[in-house]
Amino acid sequence: MQPLMPGFLDHTLQLLLFGGKGGVGKTTCAAAAAIRIARSAPGKAFRLLSADPAHSLWDSLADCTLPGNLTVVELDARQRADAFLAAERGRLREIAVAGTFLDEADIDQLLSLSLPGLDELAVFLEISDLLEHGVCDGIVVDTAPSGHTLELLTMPRNLRMWVAALDALLAKRRYMQRVFQRQTANDPLEQLVSRWSTSLDRIETLLRDPARCCFVPVTTAEALGVRETAGLWKQLRKLQVPVSDLVVNQVHAASSCQTCSRDHNAEQEQIARLRAMTGAGRLWTVELLEEEVRGERMLAGFWGHAQIFVAPSGSKTKTLAVPVPEGRVERPVEPPSAQVQLLLFSGKGGVGKTTLACATALRMARDFPQKRILLLSTDPAHSLSACLRIGIGRHPSPVCGNLAAMEIDACAALNVFRRECENDLGEWLDPHDGEFEVAFDRAALEKVLQLAPPGIEELMALTSVVDLLARDRYDLFVVDSASTGHFIRLLELPRLIEHWLKMFFGLLLKYKNLLRLPRFADRLIALSKNLKTFRRILADSARCALYAVSIPTQMAFEETRDLLAACGRIGIAAPLIFLNRLTPPADCRLCSAVRDREAAVASGFAETFPDRRMVFVYRQGEPAGLDRLACLAGILYRTPV
């Protein structure tokens, strides 16, 4: 009898997206689904597309011989968006000339800047082109972690802002043609903007059509993952993206092994909680396997391990009395020195960055009671509240003693910045509101202010750290950062933002008699100063350090190598690697097999990064709450001699 298979493994879907918290197996699910779907419909053409800046598709596929009708694309977002700009630059330039007081040199500078949401824009350009031109029949997408996936799904709305800006720039040209040239038919530029708007309509319609599109959240059965997945589910429903199935990956089977049994019991409770929080129509579990799911044999059989979750009988999940083992760490290190001002935790999503950042912040608060310490999250999918079990918001909240915490809302910070700029613009334009030119220029400038280079939200979030430093409110910042791909993009942003600021300063100076925006200029100057201070701190190994967090899998190893290579290019000290979630010794076939494969990966870490200190952290339940985090901190860091 054939096992029951998830309905989303259907070759009639045009778009199948896998998303969720980092490190839960999205890439594995996407790769296994694409291979299965392609083999089930040899007469159709399919694409497996990675939308995560930290690509791992080829790491997952390893030795796979792909079906002839399946093509794999690890999308180079910057290259794709640059190609789009190169193709359309001439027409964009003509639109800008028609709609602003800027000269051609100014417009060329503006067009040299990147568009907002570069990564997400590139994904939509790729999907739209593939489907509209009939290049393939279906696309399977391995998305970035949750917070950035939601940015991807809201991209049509953001791109409409860009189209609206172009339309506003054309308004004056349109009026002049109608009044003075008696021209009523759309000109080529009008047709271009109309075509882009139509393309956005198509992609939005596809994203909301359950017959053609399906989004599958993937998670593991841990409290933080369940919380984030429930939030993602709610947002998908709000966006009207079709979602009916959930996948819970790496679930322990019932076992006589004490370690496996403890994990199994805890996971069953979390899965039941996830179902209650989402009301998912179908919830699939995939058991933890002895081998890492990579390569042809493991991917081909992956979905054969999927089972529909059946809740235990009774109103609540019954928990067996299995003791939680004491934490175990090998090679503990001394805590950061008193000179450090900025401590960054980064790594692949789902490896335990938040937990280790929280534990470290608690340890430093204990070691340095005279210091004012702020623990903050810049990850769009915040987890500090769940980890600390304290309500954390957009403003610093007390945690204990000299430690406070906050979750930065980068989008809100950018929106405040934009509103203040729009108020400046209004004060400048209001006295001239009845003039013909101003009526059009005001609309155009207001729309253009909605545009900004990609990643400025994250940059404004981190430069707010510098602002707090400048105001002498805190002495030390411990940062729970976004996952690797987006964190690397953030570290490489300062040069782009400096170009953006330099261009705006040039415009304000050139048009100082016409464009009077003194407060806007002051804000740009403040942002520029914060940026320079931030870069100086990043480059100072006495004041800043990055602690890389990873887990003992081959895919996490590859991503850690990318992260540390980026740190080397940018000049950020990264002296320490936490190798987290190692399997403790146990008299169990599954545990032994997992330990063997983890040992091989750990050897690879040691050989590749011989100059880094490494701390081995074993699985110990899910540390959450101040007491358990403090205990974890006590074994991560030894007391300085």
The CATH number assigned to the domain holding 573 equals: 3.40.50.300
Whether residue 450 lies inside any domain: the answer is no
Where are any strands of DSSP class E within 551-632? 576-582, 613-618
Q: How far apart (Å, rounded) are the C-alpha atoms in residues 234 and 592?
A: 39
From 252, 274, 308, give the residue that closes a domain: 308
Whether residue 282 lies inside any domain: the answer is yes
292 & 336 share domain = no
Q: Range with the lowest mean pLDDT among 129-133, 176-180, 293-297, 615-619?
A: 176-180
Unique residue bearing structure tokens 């794999």: 72
| pLDDT 10s digits, 47-80 | 998 877 666 788 889 888 899 999 998 877 667 7
- Name the pLDDT band for 320 (thresholds 50, 70, 90): very low
Residue 249 has pLDDT above 90, yes or no: yes
Whether residue 100 lies inside any domain: the answer is no
358 & 478 share domain = yes
270 & 335 share domain = no
Whether residue 255 lies inside any domain: the answer is yes
Number of domains making up the chain: 2
Whether pTM > 0.75 for this model: the answer is no
The whole-number average pLDDT for the span 611-616 is 94
Which structural domain, as residue segments, surrounds residue 166?
Answer: 15-79+120-308
Kind of pairing, strands 213-220 and 138-145? unpaired
What six digits make up the tokens of 380?
């769009």
609 contact partners, CB below 8 Å, separation of at least 6: 564, 577
285 & 396 share domain = no
Let me know: does 80 contact 51? Beta carbons within 8 Å: no
From 308, 341, 370, give the residue that closes a domain: 308
Q: How far apart (Å, rounded) are the C-alpha atoms in residues 539 and 113?
A: 25
361 & 272 share domain = no
The whole-number average pLDDT for the span 538-564 is 90
Q: How far apart (Å, rounded) are the C-alpha atoms in residues 78 and 76?
A: 6
295 & 339 share domain = no
The whole-number average pLDDT for the span 112-129 is 63
Whether residue 520 lies inside any domain: the answer is no
Whether residue 358 lies inside any domain: the answer is yes
230 & 304 share domain = yes
389 & 253 share domain = no
Query: For 416, phi and psi rounded to 5 degrees?
Result: -60, -45
Residue 147 has pLDDT above 90, yes or no: no
Residue 302 has pLDDT above 80, yes or no: yes
Distances (CA, A) of 132 to 12, 13, 200, 484, 487: 16, 15, 12, 32, 33
From 239, 273, 308, give the residue that closes a domain: 308
270 & 401 share domain = no
337 & 465 share domain = yes
568 & 612 share domain = yes
Whether residue 617 lies inside any domain: the answer is yes
Residue 28's H or E segment, with its range, is helix 26-40
Task: Identify the burial level of 68 via C-beta atoms within 10 angstroms of its C-beta, where 0-12 means exposed, 13-18 middle and 19 or more buried.
Answer: exposed
163 & 196 share domain = yes
Whether residue 4 lies inside any domain: the answer is no
